[in-house]
Amino acid sequence: MTMQTDLLAWYYANARQLAFRKNQDPYCIWISEIMAQQTRIEAMLPYYERFMALYPDLPSLAQADDEQLHKAWEGLGYYSRCRNLKKCAVQCMEQYEGRLPATKEELKKLPGIGEYTAGAIASIAYKEKVSAVDGNVIRIFSRLYDIHLDVTKAAGKRKISELVEESLCDPIEYYNQALMELGALICTPKSPKCDLCPVARYCRTTDPESLPVKPKKKERKIVRKKIYVLTDGSRIHMVKRGPDGLLANMYEFDETPPAEYERMESLGQYTHIFSHVEWHMDAQMLYVKEGDNFYTIDQIENELAVPSAFMPFFEEAREKLEKEIE
């Protein structure tokens, strides 16, 4: 028996039945891998199902309306991912005859597809014998071999990469998925389930929670914001953000109050945490006369892409307006 055979046997018996694993279609794997970045699998699955219903293949995604595409991604965050999806789909239609390329090296040339995602698509969909090293795999191998190098530095990355490459075996599509599954379910960052681990007898570390070694995270910058939700009594004013930067092309509330308004009501406070910054927000709803760029509740819910950072204020405003209409 080897580590690989024990791991694969465990995977065959315990793998989660996930929608994107059913047919190993490269398009499905690509979409699921992009969605799973910075998002738990359980949280992304409903988004995945809705997204695939709207954009079931590369041609439909390449032709997607930008507003609708952002709306379909609403709630997942890191919106540059969905913009890169469309760019990638367009490039595949123009350069790869409407298909995702079949090798890791070719896949890495596409927008938004990095080393790991390229390896996942190439190995799972096309059975190319290549690695797919994500955070789960880094964690597993740093513990298996008791690696105390900083895995964010060149030497640590190189060591882990070498060990993973040496371990690759067939069937590669299941081996790479087994590693991902082990990291997601057993070899977790906190409180790893070592007593349930199928490869525990090969593991050299005596302190799994101390690995992998990473530098201490920088403290997030705190930005304080005043938010003004303007309403004419039934509709809400929304502002479209610019094409660049954080939350590009999405809709938000005003950050400057109008010169005149009829009355003001508090919508409370909310802190939204991004990877590098925290928005500490205080919101007021201001009743104003009707004007341009006012949208109904239904339009905001069904047509506009509104970042989750602002949704608590939208929900509060909607509740107040619905009470008034009653």
92 token code pair: 């595949």
98 token code pair: 């409407």
The residue among 247, 230, 226, 243 whose CA lies nearest residue 293 is: 230
Q: What pLDDT shows up at residue 244?
A: 87
Whether the predicted pLDDT of 326 surpasses 70: no
Q: What pLDDT shows up at residue 124?
A: 97
Which segment of 167-171, 197-201, 288-292 scores lowest on mean pLDDT? 288-292
117 vs 21 pLDDT, higher one: 117
- The stretch 260-288 carries a mean pLDDT of 96
Q: What pLDDT shows up at residue 156?
A: 97
Mean confidence (pLDDT) of the chain = 95
164 token code pair: 């993973």
252 bridge partner residues: 239
Segment holding 314, helix H or strand E:
helix 311-325
Q: CA angle, 245 as apex, 241 and 250 as ends, to 5°?
A: 30
Domain ranges of the chain: 3-210, 221-325
Whether the predicted pLDDT of 101 surpasses 70: yes
- The stretch 279-288 carries a mean pLDDT of 98
Handedness of CA 146, 150, 151, 157 (dihedral sign): negative
Give the HSE-up count for residue 14: Cα atoms under 13 Å, Cβ half-sphere.
18
Q: What is the pLDDT of residues 170-181, one digit of tens each?
A: 999 999 999 999
**Do residues 253 and 197 make contact, with C-beta atoms less than 8 angstroms apart?**
no
**CA 7 to CA 174: how far, in whole Å?**
10
Whether the predicted pLDDT of 113 surpasses 90: yes
Confidence (pTM)? 0.88
pLDDT band of 230, cuts 50, 70, 90: very high
Q: What is the pLDDT of residues 243-260, one digit of tens each?
A: 888 898 999 999 999 999
The two domains 3-210 and 221-325 share their CATH topology (first three levels equal): no
98 vs 75 pLDDT, higher one: 98
266 bridge partner residues: 284
The residue among 234, 218, 236, 203 whose CA lies nearest residue 277 is: 218
Is 49 annotated as catalytic?
no
**Which of the following is catalytic: 33, 128, 181, 316?**
33
Top CATH class of 221-325 equals: alpha beta
Assign domain 3-210 to its CATH architecture: Orthogonal Bundle (1.10)
- The stretch 294-308 carries a mean pLDDT of 96
Residue appearing with tokens 């087994």? 178
**CA 3 to CA 319: how far, in whole Å?**
56
